[in-house]
C-alpha cells in the first residue's frame, strides 16, 4: 500500500500522473497481479509506481522513455518504492516500436500518443487495452480516430472531476478551490 | 486484468461498487500486491474482486457480511474471477469486531459505517487506512467526527464525477446523460 | 448589460454572489422585468445589482441588512450601477419580518437562512419562490425541512460547477485550477 | 417571473436552451432591462423567452430563423409568455447579415455559429458581446479562432455542470442520474 500521503518521498519532474487519474485507469482497466504492461513515456515514473504496485512480482512493467534525464528520475522513484524487480526501463523512443508481444495493457502518455497506436496494436494480446492520457479534447478525437483506423475498438473516453470535501462541525461542503482538470483517459480495446 | 467490459460475467445483487469508485480508492490508498484488507459488508462482492485483483496471491481480503444470501452471491463472483484463494469470507456482523490485526486497509460500505470505526481502529496497523463509502453528506460528517473520536486522522474526503465522452467525426463532447452521483469516499489514517 | 468583466468597478466586501450562482437563480427562477424581490442580507450588494438589472424600473428590490457598514457598501455599488431607483435598502434584521406582501421572490443568503422561512412564506404571493444560497449540505437539509414545515414545496436544490475552458491552437481543455465550490441553491415554492 | 416549473406550457421543438445554460449567459453577460439583443436561430424560442423576460419592454430581441416551421413554434411560445411586443422575428438566414446595428449582445446557437461572426462583429456596439452555445469542444475552438480573426477578444469559454440534490430526512446527496452535458458557452467581446 502506497497511500497518496507517502508520495512526497517521490521526486516530481516532468509529467506526473496523479492518484485521481491513475485510479481511473486502475478502476476501469482492472489492472492487477500478474499483468504485463508497457508505458510510454516514463515521465517522472509516478504512473510506473502505480502500475508496478498492482502488477506485483508476477507482473512486469516495461517503461519507455527517450530522454535520459527523465529515465534516471523515474528509476530513482522506482527504487524508492522497492519495485526495481518489477520494472524494465528502456531508453528508447516507443515510436520505433515496443519490444514485447502479447501485453495486457499499454499506457500512452506523451505529446503525440496517437502516433504510437500502430505499434501498440501489434504488441497487445487479444482483448488487451491501449490507454491514452491526454489534456486536450482534440487529442482524444485524434487518438480514437487513429485507433479505429489501426483496428482498435473505442471502448471508453472518460474524464474524472475529483473534489475534496471538508467535514467539520459547522457543516460538510467541497473545498472552494482545487484542480478542475488534468487529463482525459481514452481506453481502446484490441478485438 | 479485469476490464470493466468483462464485469457482465459477475452477478449484480445489492450494493455494487463501480469502477469509478473502486478506482478512486485504489488510486488514493495505493493498494497493491501483498496488502491485507478487510471489508464490511461483502455486498455483491464487486469491490471484493477489485481488492483481490490488486492484493494478489501474497495479499488477503477478509470480507465480512451478515446476510447469508449476499455472502453466497459474493462468493460466486469471486469464484468466477478465480480469486477464491485470496479471499476469506465471514458470515459475521463486523459490528462485533474484526478477527484480524495489523491490517493495511479496512473498507466500510454499509449503512452505519461510522459505528464500526472503533473496531476498525483496533485492527489496523500504524499508518493503516480506514476507507468509507457513503452516499450522503451527513454520513461523511458522522464518519469523520466519529473517526477522529476514535483516534483516526481525517486524511481526505473525496467525490468523483466521471463523465463519458464521445469522440466522433463531428466533434468531441461528454455524453448528455449519465451518472451524477454514487458515493463519497472518506479516508481515515491511523497515526 | 453588466458583463462580469465590468464588475471590477464594484466594491467587494463581505459575502459576494458570483455570476455563476446569480445566473443559476436567474435561469431557474426566471426573474425578469417587473418582479418584486426581497433579499436578506444585502452583503456587498452584488446580488442586489443582478436582481435590479433584470427587475428593471417596473420592478423593485427590497434589500434587508442588519449591519450598517455592509448596507453602506451595498448602496455604493447600487449607485455605481445606476439602479438606486429600483432598490429600497432597509437597515433591519429580516428575522423581524419583511415589510412587503405578495412578493414574487425572496432570496435568503445569510448564516441562518432557514430561520427566516416563516416570515418569507407570509410575504410571498401564491407560486412565489423563496431561494436560499448555502455553502454546506446540512444547511440545505435544514432549509428544506423547515421550509416544508412552513408550508413550502421543495421544488429544487441545485449545485453548479462552472469550469473555464481554454481554446488555443494546440487544443481545447478546461483550466487546470479553479473554483470547485461556492454555494448550493435551494428553491422553495409557495403553493 | 417565469420559473422553470412553468415551462411546461411552452412547446418543445428543435433545439432548446435549458435554464442552466440560459442562466449561465444571463449571469456572465449581465443581460438586463433595456438591452437590445439578436439571436440566431430562434429554435423553439425558449432562449427568446429568457432574453425578452430580462430585456423588458424597453429592450428588444431580434430573433433570426431560416426554417419557417421553427419560427412559427417560437412565435407561439413568445405569445404564451406575453412578450410579443418585445420580440421581432425574422424569417432570414443570419449568414446574410443582421439588420441591426449597435446591439448589446448577439447570441449564436446554430450548427456553424462561427460563420456568422463577421456579421455579428459589425452589428455589435463597442464592448458588446457575442455569445455562442456549442455542444462540441472543436466548435468552441473554431468559434474562438474565427472570432479573434474578426477582431473579437476571447473573454470566456465556460461549461456548467448542474446537479440536482436530494434533501431528505435520511440525508443530503445529489441525484444519481441526470444531465451530464448540454453546451459550452463562449463569450467574445468587441473591443
CATH number at residue B123: 3.40.50.150
Is 90 exceeded by the pLDDT of residue C111? Answer: no
Name the one residue in this structure whose C-alpha cell is 461572426. D117
Distance separating alpha carbons of residues B154 and B149, to the nearest angstrom: 11
Give the residue-averaged pLDDT of B41-60: 96
Distance from CA of D144 to the nearest CA of A (A): 15
**Cell numbers at residue D53, please?**
423576460
Distance from CA of A6 to the nearest CA of C (A): 23
Could you tell me what percent of chain B has a pLDDT over 90? 94
C-alpha distances in Å from residue B173, one per residue of A9, C189, D23? 38, 35, 21
- Helices then strands, counting H and E runs in chain A, come out as 5, 9
Enumerate residues 6+ apart whose C-beta is below 8 A from B34: A56, B55, B56, B58, B59
pLDDT for the residue D111 = 86
Distance separating alpha carbons of residues D184 and B173, to the nearest angstrom: 9
pLDDT for the residue C12 = 84
pLDDT for the residue A16 = 86
Give the residue-averaged pLDDT of B98-116: 96
* Residues of chain A predicted below pLDDT 50: none
| Cβ contact, residue pair A135, C180, below 8 Å | no
Task: Give yes or no for A182 touching C (CB within 8 A).
Answer: yes
**Nearest-Cα residue of chain C relative to residue B171:** C172
Distance from CA of A3 to the nearest CA of D (A): 27
Give the residue-averaged pLDDT of C156-167: 98
Distance separating alpha carbons of residues D52 and B135, to the nearest angstrom: 41
Could you tell me what percent of chain D has a pLDDT over 90? 94
Task: Give yes or no for C149 touching D (CB within 8 A).
Answer: no
pLDDT for the residue B12 = 84
pLDDT for the residue D81 = 96
DSSP A181: -
**Nearest-Cα residue of chain B relative to residue C136:** B137
Cis (ω within 30 of 0) for the bond into D41?
Answer: yes
**Cell numbers at residue A145, please?**
480516430
Task: Give yes or no for A141 touching D (CB within 8 A).
Answer: yes
Label residue B18 exposed, middle or buried (CB < 10 Å: 0-12, 13-18, 19+). Answer: buried
Q: Which of residues 117-136 of A touch C (CB under 8 A)?
A: 135-136
Q: Which residues of chain D have a CB within 8 Å of the CB of A138?
A: 137-138, 141
Q: Which residues of chain C have a CB within 8 Å of the CB of B137?
A: 137-138
Is 80 exceeded by the pLDDT of residue C30? Answer: yes
pLDDT for the residue D164 = 98
| Cβ contact, residue pair C181, A161, below 8 Å | no
Check if the beta carbon of residue C186 is closer than 8 Å to that of residue D167: yes
Q: Which residues of chain B have a CB within 8 Å of the CB of C141?
A: 138
For the ranges A1-15, B65-79, C149-163, which has the lowest average pLDDT?
Answer: A1-15
Per-residue confidence band for B93, with pLDDT thresholds at 50, 70 and 90: very high
pLDDT for the residue C106 = 98
pLDDT for the residue B16 = 86
Enumerate residues 6+ apart whose C-beta is below 8 A from D43: D13, D14, D15, D16, D17, D65, D70, D74, D109
**For residue A7, is it within any domain?**
no
pLDDT for the residue A171 = 97
Label residue C100 exposed, middle or buried (CB < 10 Å: 0-12, 13-18, 19+). Answer: middle
User: Taking Cα atoms as reference points, which of A49, A46, A62 lies closest to residue A14?
Assistant: A46
Distance separating alpha carbons of residues D188 and D104, to the nearest angstrom: 12
Provide the β-strand partners of residue B166: B173
For the ranges A113-122, C1-10, D47-56, which has the lowest average pLDDT?
Answer: C1-10
**B26 alpha carbon, distance to own chain's centre:** 9
Q: What is the pTM of this model?
A: 0.97
Distance from CA of C107 to the nearest CA of B (A): 24
Is 80 exceeded by the pLDDT of residue C14? Answer: no
| Cβ contact, residue pair D160, C157, below 8 Å | no
Per-residue confidence band for B76, with pLDDT thresholds at 50, 70 and 90: very high
**For residue A89, is it within any domain?**
yes
Strand segments, DSSP code E, in chain A are 36-40, 60-65, 87-91, 103-108, 124-134, 153-168, 171-174, 177-179, 184-189
Task: Give yes or no for B167 touching D (CB within 8 A).
Answer: no
- DSSP H or E run through C162: strand C153-168
Chain B to chain D, count of Cβ pairs less than 8 Å apart?
Answer: 62
pLDDT for the residue D13 = 79
Distance separating alpha carbons of residues C108 and C38, to the nearest angstrom: 9
Binding partners of C (≥3 Cβ pairs within 8 A): A, B, D
C-alpha distances in Å from residue B14, one per residue of B46, B79, D126? 10, 18, 60
Distance from CA of D161 to the nearest CA of A (A): 11
**Nearest-Cα residue of chain A relative to residue B136:** A172
Distance separating alpha carbons of residues C132 and C108, to the nearest angstrom: 5
The total number of structural domains that make up chain D = 1
User: In this complex, which of B141, B156, B168 lies closest to A164 when CB atoms are compared?
Assistant: B156
**Nearest-Cα residue of chain C relative to residue B180:** C159
Q: What is the mean pLDDT of chain D?
A: 96
Q: Which residues of chain A have a CB within 8 Å of the CB of C160?
A: none
**For residue B6, is it within any domain?**
no
Task: Give yes or no for B162 touching C (CB within 8 A).
Answer: no
pLDDT for the residue D60 = 98
**For residue A8, is it within any domain?**
no
pLDDT for the residue B15 = 74
pLDDT for the residue C73 = 95
Task: Give yes or no for D145 touching B (CB within 8 A).
Answer: no
| Cβ contact, residue pair A181, C163, below 8 Å | yes
Task: Give yes or no for A173 touching C (CB within 8 A).
Answer: yes
Chain A to chain D, count of Cβ pairs less than 8 Å apart?
Answer: 7
Per-residue confidence band for D15, with pLDDT thresholds at 50, 70 and 90: confident
User: Taking Cα atoms as reference points, which of C32, C37, C14 lies closest to residue C108?
Assistant: C37
Phi first, then psi: what are they for A58, rounded to 5°? -80, -15
Enumerate residues 6+ apart whose C-beta is below 8 A from A22: A46, A47, A50, B27
Phi first, then psi: what are they for A80, rounded to 5°? -60, -35
Binding partners of A (≥3 Cβ pairs within 8 A): B, C, D
User: In this complex, which of B1, B31, B159 lies closest to A30 when CB atoms are compared?
Assistant: B1
Contacts of residues D68-72 at CB distance under 8 Å and 24 or more positions apart, as own/partner, are D69/D13, D70/D13, D70/D14, D70/D41, D70/D42, D70/D43, D70/D44, D71/D42
For the ranges B13-27, C130-144, D118-132, which has the lowest average pLDDT?
Answer: B13-27
Distance from CA of B138 to the nearest CA of C (A): 7
- Which range of residues forms the domain containing residue D112? 4-189
**For residue B5, is it within any domain?**
no
**Nearest-Cα residue of chain C relative to residue B159:** C180
pLDDT for the residue A188 = 98
Per-residue confidence band for B14, with pLDDT thresholds at 50, 70 and 90: confident
pLDDT for the residue A49 = 97
Amino acid at each position: 500500500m502506497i497511500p497518496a500521503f507517502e508520495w512526497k518521498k517521490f521526486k516530481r519532474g516532468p509529467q506526473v500522473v496523479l492518484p485521481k487519474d491513475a485510479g481511473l485507469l486502475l478502476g476501469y482497466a482492472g489492472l492487477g497481479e500478474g499483468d504485463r504492461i508497457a508505458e510510454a513515456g516514463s515521465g517522472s515514473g509516478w504512473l510506473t509506481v502505480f502500475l508496478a504496485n498492482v502488477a506485483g512480482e508476477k507482473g512486469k512493467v516495461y517503461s519507455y522513455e527517450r530522454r535520459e534525464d527523465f529515465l534516471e528520475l523515474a528509476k530513482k522513484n522506482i527504487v524508492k518504492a522497492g519495485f526495481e524487480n518489477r520494472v524494465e526501463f528502456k531508453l528508447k523512443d516507443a515510436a520505433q516500436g515496443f519490444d514485447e508481444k502479447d501485453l495486457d495493457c499499454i499506457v500512452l502518455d506523451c505529446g503525440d500518443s496517437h502516433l504510437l497506436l500502430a505499434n501498440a496494436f501489434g504488441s497487445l494480446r487479444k482483448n488487451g487495452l491501449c490507454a491514452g492520457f491526454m489534456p486536450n479534447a482534440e487529442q482524444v478525437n485524434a487518438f480514437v480516430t487513429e485507433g479505429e483506423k489501426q483496428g482498435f475498438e473505442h471502448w471508453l473516453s472518460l474524464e474524472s472531476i475529483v473534489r475534496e470535501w471538508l467535514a467539520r462541525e459547522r457543516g460538510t461542503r467541497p473545498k472552494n478551490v482545487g484542480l478542475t482538470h488534468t487529463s482525459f483517459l481514452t481506453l481502446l480495446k484490441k478485438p
